[in-house]
Amino acid sequence: MLIQLKTAARGAMRHPLARAAAIRAAARRGHGLALVYHRVTADGDVAHGEVVPSLGRSRLRAQLEALAELGDVVDLPRLLDPPASRRRPRFALTFDDDYPHHTAHALPVLRDVGAPGTFFLSGRALHGLGPYWWERLEALVAADGVERAGRALGISGDSPQALAAVCERDPAARGRLAALVPGAGGRPLDVDGIRTLAAAGMTVGFHTLEHPLLPDLGSDRLAVALTTGREKLAAATGRPLTLLAYPHGKADQRVARATRAAGYTAAWTGWPRPARPGDDRFLLGRWEPGPLDVDAFVASVAVRLNRAAPVARR
């Protein structure tokens, strides 16, 4: 039933008058929306076995141009401030993980359309670390297919995302993955790339060095995960890192309290909810549109701007 309601809502938002009314209503309530992207690729690149979604440069540009028509694209920290006007909603753009695509493809699009962006990085190259574990999983699935990859890892799943969901909580599976494809997955964003983003005026936030599932960590390990690598990345950017994106988009009240204690000023989950006045600054939401075409993207934006907030897990 819930899926049917969501589908019906998106269908209704394809009608221009209904969509415009919904967006105006969201703006009057002070709602905004933070969007999250991961990999932005060259147009025509075909990925196989993706765990993390990607989209081409032209599709990203089309989405950002559509956003600028719907509302105001602002730097992420501005979503934390009360709106000066409630005539148009505000949108903020964020990009996660240490992908070289950030400077190769995302940054040129942001420059072309004149939009600010926030990049939540781990700084893995600063510590001699290779790709994230799911990049190795993607390489394994691309080479062997989902079924064979699952057998090799001793887990089951009918899609790359299903295998990743198991690996996310299974350190042994991630260990087997590292042994099977130690050199796969590409290189992370290097120090020159990190500095390029900062020099371009982009905001840089922290995404933790090891990208663990924070709610599963005990208090001591949680405190370490929230701080290890932060200062080295800050030194590379020349600015303090005060914003955090939770790895895997997952957090709870305990993680939020630890994040506040670690000196951050705000943190974002993966909950696809709007930014609203009075939100908990350490359990904020973001929405990932992926490679939606412009019509579906605009309809989904209208739905997301008006979405009710989920109940935080304690």
Q: pLDDT tens, position by position, for the chain (314 residues)?
A: 444 435 545 565 666 778 889 999 999 999 999 999 999 999 987 676 789 989 999 999 999 999 999 999 999 999 999 888 889 999 999 999 999 999 999 999 999 999 999 999 999 999 999 999 999 999 999 999 999 999 999 999 999 999 999 999 999 999 999 999 887 778 999 999 999 999 999 999 999 999 999 999 999 999 999 999 999 999 999 999 999 999 999 999 999 999 999 999 999 999 999 999 999 999 999 999 999 999 999 999 999 999 865 544 44
Q: Is residue 138 part of a domain?
A: yes
Instruction: Examine the domain organization and report whether 9 and 35 are in the same domain.
Output: yes
Do strands 90-96 and 72-73 pair parallel, antiparallel, or not at all (unpaired)? parallel
Structure-block tokens of residue 217: 């960590």
Domain boundary among 139, 171, 186: 186
**Global pTM?**
0.92
Amino acid (1-letter code) at residue 49: G
Range of the domain at 162: 131-186
Q: Is residue 311 part of a domain?
A: no
Q: Please report the pLDDT score of residue 149 as a whole number.
A: 96
Structure-block tokens of residue 42: 């060259």
Amino acid (1-letter code) at residue 118: T
Instruction: Examine the domain organization and report whether 123 and 247 are in the same domain.
Output: yes
Instruction: Examine the domain organization and report whether 204 and 296 are in the same domain.
Output: yes
The domain total for the chain is: 2
Beta bridge partners of 185: none
- Which domain CATH number covers 29? 3.20.20.370
Q: Please report the pLDDT score of residue 66 as a whole number.
A: 97
Distance of CA 257 to the CA centre of its chain: 21
Distance of CA 118 to the CA centre of its chain: 10
Instruction: Examine the domain organization and report whether 173 and 226 are in the same domain.
Output: no
Distance of CA 101 to the CA centre of its chain: 14
Q: Is residue 33 part of a domain?
A: yes
Residue 214 zone, left/alpha/beta (φ > 0; ψ -120 to 50; rest) = alpha
Instruction: Examine the domain organization and report whether 99 and 248 are in the same domain.
Output: yes
Contact assessment for residue 272 and residue 283, using Cβ atoms and an 8 Å cutoff = no
Neighbouring C-beta atoms of residue 247, cutoff 10 Å: 23
Q: How much is the CA Rg of the chain, to the nearest whole Å?
A: 19
- Please tell me the number of Cα atoms within 13 Å of 102 on its side-chain side: 32
Q: How far apart are CA 226 and CA 210, in angstroms?
A: 10
Domain boundary among 161, 186, 211: 186
**Where would I find the beta strands (DSSP E) of 132-220?**
203-206
Q: How far apart are CA 268 and CA 282, in angstroms?
A: 7
Q: Please report the pLDDT score of residue 76 as a whole number.
A: 97
Instruction: Examine the domain organization and report whether 231 and 109 are in the same domain.
Output: yes
Q: Please report the pLDDT score of residue 10 as a whole number.
A: 54
Q: Please report the pLDDT score of residue 182 as a whole number.
A: 82
First-to-final CA distance of the chain: 26
Instruction: Examine the domain organization and report whether 100 and 219 are in the same domain.
Output: yes
Residues 6+ apart with CB under 8 A from 1: none
Q: Please report the pLDDT score of residue 5 as a whole number.
A: 39
